[in-house]
């Protein structure tokens, strides 16, 4: 067994819920995050065959079942399980606004809080913590991981450092992890690990589970904002970007008459636009992260593509067109991507 320790903290607040749904340092979310990025690292090795991946995952992370249960070989320990130190109304006075063209009356839109837009649920409409407790960016803890020596834990930890977020609304950038320790490197678009975990995004749409970072003829589907002075400013910019690429797809129906439309490819449910008989969810494939670099903050955006699920089969013929429009919009909003070759 191999045992390693990293120092972990967040670049912005993290909403890790305990039994009372209040922020607390807990190991299960970290183990789930390790599992998530292990799948992406391992997927190419098994030629993206989900059954082979499940078998390897069961051998490593354990399985539950009658007669064939296996104990996990992965051990995770945190320095403590203390509650978060961000309390009450302390999400910060800087509630930067963004304009949302589909909110309000009169067709001109209205300004909304960027923290509320990206964090609705854990963050209430008045920019307060709904359940009163979160983990502050100032907090740190030790993350100890013990795994079999055959597991490439360093590579998985590296991916988590570059892209990993955790807790409520983590795909919108909340709970962005920063790791310090042996083997953790700065982000580099030319790093060979990125080529190992990337794949032509059009090929990714042939599978309905996230298994690779997308790439195209212009490089990896990874974008970054400019450097800003605070994580709040980054969240504002990410909110502007998300509103922009989502609202380019306008609805033609709504309410009880809602039909599947292009924006449903991006994520579902959508308020006031819920097609009949749609009960499941479509997870957001565009993931945000707030990173800290030389005292400044930046937003990192990555597309981990996969097909819409079976219940949304009416959108499968449109999803490639929709995602191409999203990529084009992100290229314009964030600038050209500079990574290297198209992954096959």
Q: Taking the CA of residue 278 as centre, how many other CA atoms within 13 Å lie in the half-sphere pointing to its CB?
A: 27
Confidence of residue 128 (pLDDT cuts 50, 70, 90): confident
The verdict on residue 257 lying in a domain is yes
User: Is 84 inside a domain boundary?
Assistant: yes
Position 279 in a domain: yes
The residue-averaged pLDDT of 287-316 equals 95
267 in Cβ contact with 250 (< 8 Å): no
Specify the pLDDT at position 130.
Answer: 84
pTM, to two decimals? 0.94
341 domain residue, yes or no: no
Ranges of H-type helices in 164-252: 192-196, 201-204, 231-247
- What is the Cα–Cα distance from 248 to 101, expressed in whole angstroms? 10
Please check whether residue 67 lies inside any domain of the structure: no
Count of structural domains, the chain: 1
DSSP codes of every residue in 280-339: S-B---EEEEEEEETTEEEEEEEE---PPPGGGGGGTTTHHHHHHHHHHHHHHHH-----
Give the whole-number percent of the chain exceeding pLDDT 90. Answer: 78
Residue 7: give the domain boundaries.
2-48+56-62+72-334
In the chain, where do the E strands start and end?
A: 2-10, 75-78, 86-87, 97-100, 110-113, 133-134, 140-147, 172-173, 177-180, 198-200, 213-216, 219-220, 222-224, 286-293, 296-303
Mean pLDDT of 198-214: 97
The pLDDT, as a whole number, for residue 342 is 38
The SS3 of residue 28 is helix
Closest CA to 195 of 180, 214, 181: 214
Confidence class for position 92, pLDDT limits 50, 70, 90: low
Digit-coded pLDDT (tens) for 33-63: 999 999 999 999 999 999 999 999 999 999 8
Whether 343 maps to a domain, the answer reads no
């Amino acid at each position: 067994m191999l045992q390693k320790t990293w120092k972990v903290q967040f670049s912005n607040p993290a909403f890790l819920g305990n039994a009372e749904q209040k922020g607390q340092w807990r190991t299960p979310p970290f183990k789930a995050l390790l599992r998530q990025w292990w799948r992406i690292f391992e997927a190419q090795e098994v030629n993206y065959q989900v059954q082979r991946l499940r078998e390897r995952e069961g051998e490593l992370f354990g399985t539950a079942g009658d007669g064939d249960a296996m104990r996990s070989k992965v051990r995770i320990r945190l320095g403590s399980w203390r509650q978060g130190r961000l309390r009450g109304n302390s999400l910060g006075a800087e509630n930067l606004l963004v304009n949302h063209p589909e909110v309000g009356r009169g067709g001109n839109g209205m300004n909304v809080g960027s923290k509320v837009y990206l964090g609705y649920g854990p963050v209430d409409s008045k920019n307060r913590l709904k359940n009163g407790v979160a983990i502050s960016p100032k907090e740190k803890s030790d993350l100890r991981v013990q795994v079999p020596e055959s597991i490439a834990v360093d590579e998985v930890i590296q991916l988590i450092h570059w892209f990993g977020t955790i807790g409520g609304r983590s795909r919108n950038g909340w709970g962005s992890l920063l790791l310090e320790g042996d083997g953790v490197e700065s982000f580099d678009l030319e790093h060979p690990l990125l080529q190992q975990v990337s794949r032509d995004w059009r090929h990714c749409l042939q599978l309905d589970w996230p298994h690779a970072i997308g790439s195209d003829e212009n490089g990896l589907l990874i974008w970054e904002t400019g450097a800003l002075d605070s994580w709040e400013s980054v969240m504002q910019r990410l909110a502007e970007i998300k509103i922009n690429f989502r609202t380019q797809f306008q609805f033609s129906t709504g309410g009880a008459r809602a039909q599947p439309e292009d924006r449903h490819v991006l994520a579902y449910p959508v308020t006031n636009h819920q097609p009949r008989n749609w009960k499941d969810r479509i997870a957001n494939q565009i993931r945000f992260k707030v990173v800290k670099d030389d005292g400044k903050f930046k937003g990192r955006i990555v597309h981990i593509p996969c097909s819409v699920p079976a219940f949304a089969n009416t959108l499968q013929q449109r999803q490639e067109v929709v995602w191409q429009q999203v990529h084009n919009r992100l290229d314009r909003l964030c600038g050209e991507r500079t990574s290297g070759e198209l992954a096959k």
